Amino acid sequence: MEFGTLEREIYVGASPEIVFDVVSSPEHLKEWWPDDARYDATPGATGEITFGEPDAGGKVVQFTVVDAQPPRLFSFRWTHPAGEVAAEGNSLLVTFDLTPRGDGTLVKMTETGFREMGWEVAVLEEQYNDHTSGWDYFLPRLPSYVEKLGARS
């Protein structure tokens, strides 16, 4: 198996404008993916996302916005060491490509950079598998969260 790129596609029954907001805005992101998110959704902005409670074994992950082209594309780098500028070789790149499809949006999520991290094979496989299971769990939450948003308006 090659541990290079993760790709997932999912259909969301909302316009690309709404989906873009949900995949780029920290207020929405933390409702379907991390437990907390703090960053400005503009290219070059840095921040962090948090999984679980940091004081109880949770994890704070560095986060840098790479590109934001509403309503078509949002990308960020994450997992780089605190205090370092996110770049190829020290972080993973996640891209959400949004394409209108019927009455909704086809979301293509791609995560790259695993091999470029320089990890030993066992660590590479562990990280790749961890991210695979993570996206397989969190990404399907996106359409149901967007559906709940529609119910609130």
- Whether pLDDT at 3 is above 60: yes
- Whether pLDDT at 15 is above 70: yes
Can you tell me the mean pLDDT for 46-62? 93
Condensed to tens digits (0 to 9), the pLDDT of residues 63-82 reads: 999 999 999 999 999 999 88
Condensed to tens digits (0 to 9), the pLDDT of residues 99-130 reads: 999 999 999 999 999 999 999 999 999 999 99
Q: If you count DSSP H runs as helices and E runs as strands, how many of each does the chain have, helices first?
A: 4, 7
pLDDT given for residue 150 in this prediction: 80
Query: Considering the chain, what percentage of its residues have pLDDT values greater than 90?
Result: 90
Could you tell me the CATH number of the domain that includes residue 140? 3.30.530.20
pLDDT category, 152, cuts 50, 70, 90?
Answer: low
- Whether pLDDT at 1 is above 70: no
On the CB side of 4, CA atoms within 13 Å amount to: 2
pLDDT given for residue 82 in this prediction: 85
Q: Tell whether omega for the bond before 16 is within 30 degrees of 0, i.e. cis.
A: no
Full domain range(s) for residue 95 = 5-152
pLDDT given for residue 79 in this prediction: 93
Q: What's the domain count of the chain? A: 1
Contacts of 5 (CB under 8 A, 6+ apart): 110, 111, 112, 114
Handedness of CA 132, 66, 48, 85 (dihedral sign): positive
